[in-house]
């Protein structure tokens, strides 16, 4: 497949979906309270609505859009960085996305981030997992020949 928009969108959406589902499971099992989906939905919904199931589903859809955008950015940088060392690139992509989206943009938007140290560490790990999923999925999709 050669279409960078499709490759980036699919890779980013897959990585976001995977991390979003893990986030929901961690929250449901009370292992961690990562409020990324709530924080996504609070951008567009009232706070009391954002904490409902519909708000979390809406937050997951926003999470997929953000992930697709990051996937698009990665696939457009791919020709300049090469297709080797995928693990390191995925790790770096996840760490940068955690820092930029979770740290810088969250503070600029004034989001009420209330995560504990363990929640923040798990969220960073999930972002690194996201980066790895995006990089490996984009690499796999770019090798597929659909002719």
State the Cα–Cα distance between residues 31 and 26, nearest whole angstrom. 5
The tokens describing 53, both together, are 């199931």
pLDDT in tens for each of the 147 residues of the chain?
Answer: 778 899 999 999 999 999 989 888 888 887 777 777 777 888 888 888 888 888 888 889 988 999 999 999 988 887 788 778 999 999 999 999 888 887 787 778 776 666 677 777 888 899 999 999 999 999 888 887 665
The tokens describing 116, both together, are 């504990």
The model carries a pTM of: 0.85
Neighbours of 38 (CB within 10 A): 23
Chain centroid to Cα 25, Å, comes to 16
Domain ranges of the chain: 4-143
Q: Where do the H-state alpha helices sit in 1-147? A: 4-28, 36-42, 47-50, 53-81, 86-97, 106-108, 117-143
Closest C-alpha among 30, 56, 33 to residue 45: 56
Locus of tokens 């004034």: 110
Angle at 6 (CA atoms; ends 88, 134), nearest 5 degrees: 20
Query: Which residues, in sequence order, are CB contacts of 80 under 8 Å at separation 6+?
Result: none
State the Cα–Cα distance between residues 77 and 70, nearest whole angstrom. 11
């Amino acid at each position: 497949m050669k279409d960078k928009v499709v490759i980036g969108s699919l890779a980013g959406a897959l990585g976001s979906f995977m991390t979003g589902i893990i986030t929901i499971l961690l929250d449901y099992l009370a292992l961690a309270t990562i409020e990324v989906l709530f924080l996504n939905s609070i951008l567009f919904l009232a706070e009391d609505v954002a904490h409902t199931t519909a708000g979390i589903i809406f937050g997951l859809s926003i999470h997929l859009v953000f992930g697709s955008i990051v996937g698009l950015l990665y696939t457009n940088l791919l020709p300049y960085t090469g297709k080797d060392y995928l693990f390191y690139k995925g790790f770096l992509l996840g760490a940068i996305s955690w820092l930029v989206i979770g740290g810088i943009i969250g503070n600029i938007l004034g989001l009420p981030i209330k995560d504990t140290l363990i929640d923040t560490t798990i969220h960073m790990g999930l972002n690194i997992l996201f980066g790895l999923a995006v990089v490996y999925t984009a690499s796999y999709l770019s090798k597929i020949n659909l002719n």
